[in-house]
Amino acid sequence: MSSSDPVKPVHILFVGAGAVGCFYASRLHHPSHNIYVSLTARSNYGTIASSGVTLQTHTFGDYVFKPHSVFPSVDAAVPGASHASGAATPEEGWDYVVVATKALPDRADDAALIAPLVSAGTCIVLIQNGVGVEEPYRTRFPQNPILSAVTVISAEQIQQGTIRQNRWTRISMGPFGKGLAGASDSESESGPQMNDVVKRGEDCMSNLAQWWQVYGQIQDVKTHTELELQTIRWHKLCINSAFNPSAVLSGGLGNADQLKDVQLREHITGIMQEVWDAAPKVLGQPLPDDLGTPERIIRSTERNAGAKPSMLLDWEAGRPMELEVILGNPIKIAKKAGVEMPRLQSVYALLRSMQTQRDVTNSKTRL
């Protein structure tokens, strides 16, 4: 062991065994350094429990990740619970609970779902798309450190228990206190207490970054302040809110193919510019000069032929889409800052209607 190893074992649970969760979990699991990573899985539970996760990666080659424990549900991972498989839960509770599921607040309360896993010393890490994802967790867990994380990675589960990482490995993290509205609220009664929670989050963030960089060999792990991380979320929203919904509404066109159509290109540019213009008013400061502008993002996207955004993949597979965190939340948050987002609102209304009608049709079919 090295001098930077944790003194006592660190137990980390990833809730969600999809491509992103499995990849980052695999780079964090290092028993020889006292770091033990476990997973909850659903449809791929049997495969992972028996054979581990097979990873085919552009960055680190091919390897098999054998988690410390694998659980078929959150309930099975509750400290003190027993499971027929013999999967072990830590007696003192989970040190980190990493939520790597799709953010679907209109379908489920994920903060309530993980509540049995969270003890006083647990740090909650949210690796999820969109904006406004942290608020339900802060409301339910006012005293726990929360880290918000944004990834730039191209990865997919090509079959149960097999993950292929195609490009990129970047993960950016920042602590989450009271949100942007209360980020500087040090005068209120809860100010000093929240500052302590944020400080604990910063310590957890520093540990995770070091473990991913040193042991997991992911070089582009970035740590940020709360405001910096929220800025990254809004910048990524320029991409997600433009290309994801439009891929569905255009009849299944990938990102680069959308830009070949003159009318769609104008539509995409308009949404990106709408988010770009709203972000400084929401964040309370101009966007940094080093962030890629909509024009630069479009030029880069044109070179990524064949890519299908996640919302299109979800729609084609009949799964719920991340409409609220990518469309609904930004509209609401911007409105509170006095900014209207008419293009985003139109897209949101259309996709919500499409999803609702499909749900109704499916429900009638099952009857």
- For the chain (length 367 residues), average pLDDT per consecutive 10? 73 96 98 97 95 97 97 93 76 96 95 97 97 96 97 92 93 91 47 86 98 97 97 96 97 94 97 97 94 92 81 94 98 97 98 96 84
- CB–CB of 284/180 below 8 Å? yes
The reported pTM is 0.92
Give the tokens for residue 270: 């308009």
H runs (alpha helix) in the chain: 19-26, 45-51, 110-114, 135-140, 191-210, 226-249, 255-258, 262-283, 294-302, 310-316, 323, 329-336, 342-366
Only one residue has tokens 């009664």, namely 189
Residues 350, 299 share a domain? yes
How many other C-beta atoms lie within 10 A of the C-beta of residue 260? 11
Whether 269 is covered by a domain: the verdict is: yes
For CA atoms 283, 238, 99, 140, give the dihedral sign.
positive
The CA-atom distances, in angstroms, between 274 and each of 229, 267, 323 are 20, 11, 17
Whether 303 is covered by a domain: the verdict is: yes
pLDDT at 4: 60
Residues 241, 203 share a domain? no
Looking at residue 261, which CATH number applies to its domain? 1.10.1040.10
Whether 291 is covered by a domain: the verdict is: yes
Looking at residue 111, which CATH number applies to its domain? 3.40.50.720
**Beta 70-71 vs 53-57: how paired, if at all?**
unpaired
One-letter amino acid of 23:
F
Residues 233, 201 share a domain? no
pLDDT at 7: 84
Whether 333 is covered by a domain: the verdict is: yes
Residue 296's SS3 state is: helix
Residues 164, 185 share a domain? yes
Domain count, the chain: 2
Residues 317, 170 share a domain? no
Residues 286, 160 share a domain? no
- 223, β-bridge pairs: 173
Residues 166, 46 share a domain? yes
Residues 288, 330 share a domain? yes
Residues 178, 61 share a domain? yes
Where does a domain end: 224, 253, 288? 224
Where does a domain end: 224, 239, 271? 224
- Per DSSP, the residues of 181-197 read GGTT--SSTTHHHHHHH
Residues 293, 188 share a domain? no
Whether 5 is covered by a domain: the verdict is: no
Give the contacts of 245 (CB within 8 A, at least 6 positions apart). 311, 326, 327, 347, 348, 351
Give helix 262-283 / helix 342-366 axis angle, nearest 10°: 110
- CB–CB of 97/208 below 8 Å? no
Domain span holding position 306: 229-366
pLDDT at 316: 95
Whether 337 is covered by a domain: the verdict is: yes
Whether 31 is covered by a domain: the verdict is: yes
Whether 213 is covered by a domain: the verdict is: yes
Q: How far from chain centre, in Å, is Cα 74? A: 18
Residues 31, 142 share a domain? yes
Please choose, from the candidates 44, 38, 151, 153, the residue with its C-alpha nearest in 3D space to the C-alpha of residue 97.
38
Residues 123, 36 share a domain? yes
How many other C-beta atoms lie within 10 A of the C-beta of residue 165? 21
Where does a domain end: 168, 198, 224? 224
Give the tokens for residue 316: 């084609």
H runs (alpha helix) in 123-190: 135-140
